[in-house]
């Protein structure tokens, strides 16, 4: 069973993804800007320091953000 903070993280991720999709749909931010925001977030975690456990957490977060970028989850891309 996930820890309560896992639920909060999942909810936050879903809300952020929905906001990014809405901003793209309403042409408030183009896809490149949304990807840039995600890349900046990943870089912040990739460069974070702390205890071994904190660094592992940051690296895991960066990896997840990079998977989101690669998967195109936060922008609606046309289907071929």
pLDDT for 37 beyond 90: yes
- Mean pLDDT for the chain overall: 88
The token pair that represents 1 in the structure block: 């069973």
pLDDT score recorded for residue 79: 53
CA 8 to mean position of chain CA atoms:
14
pLDDT score recorded for residue 71: 85
pTM: 0.79
Express each pLDDT in 54-78 by its tens digit.
Answer: 999 999 999 999 998 888 766 665 5
Q: What is the DSSP letter of 52?
A: H
Distance, CA of 2 to CA of 73 (rounded, Å) = 23
Report the pLDDT averaged over residues 16-28. 93
Distance, CA of 24 to CA of 28 (rounded, Å) = 6
The token pair that represents 23 in the structure block: 């901003």
Instruction: Assess contact for 62 and 56: CB atoms under 8 A.
Output: no
């Amino acid at each position: 069973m996930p820890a309560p903070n896992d639920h909060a993280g999942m909810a936050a991720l879903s809300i952020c993804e929905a906001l990014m999709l809405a901003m793209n749909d309403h042409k408030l931010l183009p896809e490149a800007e949304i990807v840039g925001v995600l890349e900046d977030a990943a870089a912040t975690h990739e460069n974070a320091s702390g205890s071994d456990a904190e660094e592992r957490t940051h690296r895991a977060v960066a990896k997840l953000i990079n998977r989101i970028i690669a998967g195109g989850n936060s922008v609606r891309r046309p289907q071929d």
